[in-house]
Amino acid sequence: MKESPESDPLLLDHEYDGIRELDNRLPRWWVWLFYITILFAVIYLGYYHVFNLGELSAAEYARDNAAGQALKTASQAKFESTLESLQPSSDSAIVGRGNGVYLTYCAPCHRPDGGGLVGPNLCDDYWIHGPKFSDNLKVIINGVPDKGMLTWKGVLQPSEIYAVASYIYTLRGTKPPNPKPPENLAPAKPTEVYE
Amino acid sequence: METFRYDNRVVRNFAWATLIWGLVGMSAGLLAAVQLFFPDANLDFQYITFGRLRPLHTNAVIFAFIGNGMFMGIYYSLPRLCKAPMFSRLLSQINFWGWNAIIVAAAVTLPLGFTTSKEYAELEWPIDIAITLVWVAFTINLFGTIIKRREKHLYVAIWFYIATALTVALLHIVNSMEVPAGWFKSYSLYAGVQDALVQWWYGHNAVAFFLTTPYLGLMYYFLPKAAGRPVFSYRLSIIHFWALIFIYIWAGPHHLLYTALPDWAQSLGMVFSVMLIAPSWGGMLNGLLTLRGAWDKVRQEPMLKFMVVAVTAYGMATLEGPTLAIKSVNSLSHYTDWTIAHVHTGALGWNGFLTFSMLYWLIPKLYRTSLYSVKLANYHFWIALTGMMFYVVPMYWGGITQGLMWKQFTPDGFLQYPNFLETVLQIIPLYRIRAIGGSLYLLGAFIGAFNLCRTAHAGSFEPESEAQAPARVKHSGVDGKGHRWLEARGLLLAGLALVAVAIGGLVEIIPTFLIKENVPTISSVKPYTPLELLGRDLYIREGCVGCHSQMIRPLRSETERYGEYSKAGEFVYDHPFLWGSKRTGPDLHRIGGKYPDAWHYNHMENPRSTSPGSIMPRYPWLLTQKLETNCLPARIKALRTVGVPYPENFELTAGKDLVKQAKGIVQNLESGMVKAQPDTEIIALIAYLQRLGTDIKLSKPVTASVDGVPSTVVVNP
């Protein structure tokens, strides 16, 4: 550190409104930093765009997505093979989780209380696609594309589908105000609805 | 020897405007910050919802606070560095009053919803023209002064001023090309990918040439002046100046990594950002190393304290910027509050602290007195620094937390947090802390304003300062060699600077416009219907783009959540593009068909009725306000002018078409147990939302992805 800048041999002879300039050489590490970043740029562009060695975003996505999709498909297949034997859960933790899933994904069409909006009423005795618990599970898994019910198997995990179906099961027989009227079908027999 | 007088009045005017607009802009920011954890803070008043307040905040801080600060510093330093008064007092006045009239116009029009929606270029076309004229006045004044200077060589600060004046003009004019469709409505000349590229070429370089280069020039004047030390290295200033302006302009596409922008342009944006580290740090080094041997002064002089933090913040932000521009980092950080933290390191730290540094130095000089209270200035310093930490740290934390949550998968390959809202609720406590940080910074600014007012009150203003210098001897043997020789030729230096900044933009923009492979066509993508078009204009008016992106990146975590990733060909009729840059709410590009119409109606009336805990504002006015349809023919014609293939005379039947589509939506709403009027704004907005992202999945089997967005789509190559 120099006490008086005036004696610094690097001081240039010009001044602007009292401002003087030294002519220190560029800090070496700074110069090397610059060179390294330039080298990085050349290598990167060469690797991806001149010699086409690296995957660009679409290819990278395709590979990553295929791997993830395979995991999903495996867990779904396992779940679907057990459907017929499943019973609705009465475990409050599972039903509670199902309630959360219901409010997020189902309530937009079926109303938070299950009374029906765009989708049908889930509280009455009219079950368009079958009253059994496994019928409910199948509708959630595969959807009813013709009627606007979405396919949820890619979205909801098997445990979530089970939880939300268990929650929907608890709505049966509740009487929400101002429900959506049933479609033109005979009600299911009470014995079928309440297994 | 010649005697002449520097005009201090314009400097004083800019100084007070800086201070006033700073307080206004920061207050707007604070209100916006509060709305993010307390949505009712807009009092259901449509003019100050987050979507309209955000551009008001950014414009006020960038163009009003920092813009006036920049002019203040330039109008003080330029004549002194040139040993000549400003070229024209009239142009100085046009610059001051014109610029501030533009800001007032912005403060009126943005809350009214007059916006182009392009970030930091939101102002509508009449104001764009005014900006151009005022900027031309400034540029003439700058070059006139340079031409009439008595100093033979141009000091480094002036190189930066020259680069600023020329590049901002170029950026503003190219990005603001738009076709009017009424007094305060226009459509961008460019569409989709091209609009995005031009916008971020502008947006990034507005940061470079409005917030960085002029302030580097100001640092080169005020820092050595106040420290009484020579600048560390003349050589370093030459190298970092040219490297900075040449490289900066290429880096714009780093705002569009993993988007539908062609890969080659993304890669250029990334590597040029990395190469920017050293040139940026050259400025920081030259600043900090100039203080060698003067650190005792830094301890005593508040002005230098502010300067040191400013330069340090500049160094941090310019290392962070390139880091965020690395694709793998960006895939995590983009759309999160990490970006917000980053820009505030720059705005609060670099620009804010440097502006106050200048004010603390200039006001006592202009009023021929000393600072009213050094103690208060120190309070300001520490409160602002603490405030900045309380702002930036929670935003890093929140941004990284949310980014990681978005990307988290279960071992079975499902999203761990498929519900977007869950990731928002997680970071709301951090939004609260951020607002505390912002309040502290604002408190500091008020203390500073008080201190400066008292200083001015105690002193007496000097309208003009007298100076003496010999006339300039033009081009003689003492011009010097190399760069020194160039410094004696202002216009040549300006010409070379213009060439340096033009190259990067041309290389990136022209191929994207001319080479068809860069935007592959998708035959099923069609222009918006009249009702959807007006709905889209409402989406723009309400500033939805401030919180919702419309750009799904090719990342599994995004396609699982939102659906098929966005393709360049889907945006060919989007004038302007609405990709957004921040996801405070979820992406909306594939929102079409995801929810029933009634859901949207209820959600817009009160988002918390459908999504408990949501921080989105309520939009009850959309349910009652009548949709303005008289503008439709003008809008269709304007869009046709920019290239949307509406058939001839389409505007004559558009009204009928609109009524028909609106009726259909009203019927849908009825089946969802909602009674709505067909002529209200909400109907148009629903029409637009239901159209979004649906064109490419026409006649394809529908499979839900997360949130029910169909994802099996085949795109025409």
Q: Which residue of chain B has the CA closest to A78?
A: B412
- Residues A115, A173 contacting (CB under 8 angstroms): no
Give pLDDT tens digits along chain A (195 positions).
Answer: 444 566 788 899 889 999 999 999 999 999 999 999 999 999 999 999 999 999 999 999 999 999 999 999 999 999 999 988 899 999 999 999 999 999 888 988 898 899 988 789 999 888 888 889 999 999 999 988 777 788 888 788 899 999 999 999 999 989 899 888 887 555 555 555 444
With respect to residue B436, please indicate whether it lies within any of the assigned structural domains.
Answer: yes
Residue A104's contacts (CB-CB under 8 Å, 6 or more residues apart) are: B419, B421
With respect to residue B520, please indicate whether it lies within any of the assigned structural domains.
Answer: no
Whether B235 contacts chain A with CB within 8 A: yes
Residue B647's contacts (CB-CB under 8 Å, 6 or more residues apart) are: none
What is the predicted pLDDT for the residue at A7?
75
Mutual angle of helices B192-206 and B490-514, in 10-degree steps? 150
Chain-chain contact of B556 with A33 (C-beta, under 8 angstroms): no
Chain-chain contact of B271 with A25 (C-beta, under 8 angstroms): no
- For chains A and B, count residue pairs whose Cβ atoms are closer than 8 Å: 182
B352 and B424, same structural domain?
yes
Around Cβ B184, how many Cβ atoms within 10 Å? 16
Check which CATH number belongs to the domain holding B669 and give it. Answer: 1.10.760.10
B501 and B536, same structural domain?
no
B118 and B195, same structural domain?
yes
**Residue of A4, A17, A152 to mutate for B, most B C-beta atoms under 10 A:** A17
What is the predicted pLDDT for the residue at B149?
95
| Beta pairing class for B186-188 and B178-180 | antiparallel
A153 contacts in chain B (CB < 8 Å): 704
B560 and B485, same structural domain?
no
| Sign of the torsion formed by the C-alpha atoms of B320, B324, B329 and B332 | positive
Chain-chain contact of B596 with A117 (C-beta, under 8 angstroms): yes
B613 and B505, same structural domain?
no
Check which CATH number belongs to the domain holding B13 and give it. Answer: 1.20.210.10
B269 contacts in chain A (CB < 8 Å): none
Give me the domain span that covers residue B668.
530-566+588-708
Mean pLDDT of chain A: 88
Nearest residue to B594 via CA among B427, B409, B420, B717 = B420
DSSP state of B8: -
The number of helix segments (H) and strand segments (E) in chain A equals 7, 2
Chain-chain contact of B412 with A150 (C-beta, under 8 angstroms): no
Quickly list DSSP for B645-679.
Answer: -PPTTHHHHHHHHHHHHHHHHHHHHHHTT----TT
CA A25 to chain centre: 54
For residue B483, the SS3 value is helix
Length of chain A (residues): 195
- Residues B597, B409 contacting (CB under 8 angstroms): no
DSSP state of A170: H
- The count of structural domains within chain B is 2
Q: Which of A34, A107, A157 has its CB closest to that of B412? A: A157
B545 and B454, same structural domain?
no
B560 and B494, same structural domain?
no
Q: ipTM value, please give it.
A: 0.92
- Residues B126, B62 contacting (CB under 8 angstroms): no
With respect to residue B467, please indicate whether it lies within any of the assigned structural domains.
Answer: no
Element of type H or E holding B187 = strand B186-188
What is the predicted pLDDT for the residue at B672?
81
B315 contacts in chain A (CB < 8 Å): none
With respect to residue B473, please indicate whether it lies within any of the assigned structural domains.
Answer: no
Chain-chain contact of B234 with A21 (C-beta, under 8 angstroms): yes
Closest CA of chain A from B234, distance in Å: 5
B224 and B336, same structural domain?
yes
Where residue B331 falls (left for φ over 0; alpha for ψ -120 to 50; beta otherwise) is alpha
Chain-chain contact of A8 with B151 (C-beta, under 8 angstroms): no
Whether B556 contacts chain A with CB within 8 A: yes
What is the predicted pLDDT for the residue at A5?
61
Q: How many Å apart are CA A4 and CA B675, to the nearest integer?
A: 82
B667 and B562, same structural domain?
yes
Chain-chain contact of B225 with A26 (C-beta, under 8 angstroms): no
Note which residues in 658-687 of chain B have CB less than 8 A from chain A: 671-673
Q: Which two tokens stand for residue B590?
A: 């594939």
B537 and B484, same structural domain?
no
Q: Which of A16, A72, A158 has its CB closest to that of B155? A: A16
With respect to residue B522, please indicate whether it lies within any of the assigned structural domains.
Answer: no
Chain-chain contact of A25 with B264 (C-beta, under 8 angstroms): no
- Residues A182, A126 contacting (CB under 8 angstroms): yes
Nearest residue to B540 via CA among B19, B110, B58, B60 = B110
Chain-chain contact of B236 with A20 (C-beta, under 8 angstroms): no
Closest CA of chain A from B410, distance in Å: 9
Chain-chain contact of B412 with A104 (C-beta, under 8 angstroms): no
Q: Give the residue carrying structure tokens 């309040």.
A: B439
Q: Give the residue carrying structure tokens 């594939």.
A: B590
Q: Which of A19, A33, A108 has its CB closest to that of B224? A: A19
What is the predicted pLDDT for the residue at A184?
57
Ranges of residues in chain B whose predicted pLDDT is under 70:
475-477, 699-717
What is the predicted pLDDT for the residue at A148?
77
**Residue of B292, B703, B707 to mutate for A, most A C-beta atoms under 10 A:** B703
B493 and B552, same structural domain?
no
Length of chain B (residues): 717
B221 contacts in chain A (CB < 8 Å): 17, 19
What is the predicted pLDDT for the residue at A149?
86
Chain-chain contact of A118 with B555 (C-beta, under 8 angstroms): no
Chain-chain contact of A145 with B702 (C-beta, under 8 angstroms): yes
B707 contacts in chain A (CB < 8 Å): 105, 155
What is the predicted pLDDT for the residue at B152?
92
pTM of the full structure: 0.92
Residue B18's contacts (CB-CB under 8 Å, 6 or more residues apart) are: B65, B68, B69, B72, B355, B359
Chain-chain contact of B235 with A25 (C-beta, under 8 angstroms): yes
Around Cβ B319, how many Cβ atoms within 10 Å? 14
Identity at A58, one-letter amino acid code = A
For residue B626, the SS3 value is strand
Phi, psi of B188, rounded to the nearest 5 degrees: -60, 140
How does pLDDT run across B234-291, given as a tens digit for each residue?
999 999 999 999 999 999 999 999 999 999 999 999 999 999 999 999 999 999 999 9
Q: Which two tokens stand for residue B120?
A: 């930091």
Nearest residue to B572 via CA among B509, B613, B541, B527 = B527
Q: How many Å apart are CA A12 and CA A22, to the nearest integer?
A: 6
Q: Which residue of chain B has the CA closest to A140?
A: B704
With respect to residue B637, please indicate whether it lies within any of the assigned structural domains.
Answer: yes
Element of type H or E holding B186 = strand B186-188
Distances (CA, A) of A113 to A172, B421, B471: 11, 21, 87
**Residue of B229, B271, B562 to mutate for A, most A C-beta atoms under 10 A:** B271
Quickly list DSSP for B116-159.
Answer: ---TT--S-HHHHHHHHHHHHHHHHHHHHHHHT-SSSS--HHHH
Residue B685's contacts (CB-CB under 8 Å, 6 or more residues apart) are: B535, B538, B539, B600, B604, B622
- Residues B438, B29 contacting (CB under 8 angstroms): yes
Residue B9's contacts (CB-CB under 8 Å, 6 or more residues apart) are: B463, B464
With respect to residue B571, please indicate whether it lies within any of the assigned structural domains.
Answer: no
Q: Which two tokens stand for residue A82?
A: 């057990």
With respect to residue B15, please indicate whether it lies within any of the assigned structural domains.
Answer: yes
Closest CA of chain A from B263, distance in Å: 7
B539 and B400, same structural domain?
no
DSSP state of B528: P
What is the predicted pLDDT for the residue at B416?
92
How does pLDDT run across B569-586, given as a tens digit for each residue?
999 999 999 999 999 999
For residue A131, the SS3 value is coil
Q: Which residue of chain A has the CA closest to B235?
A: A23
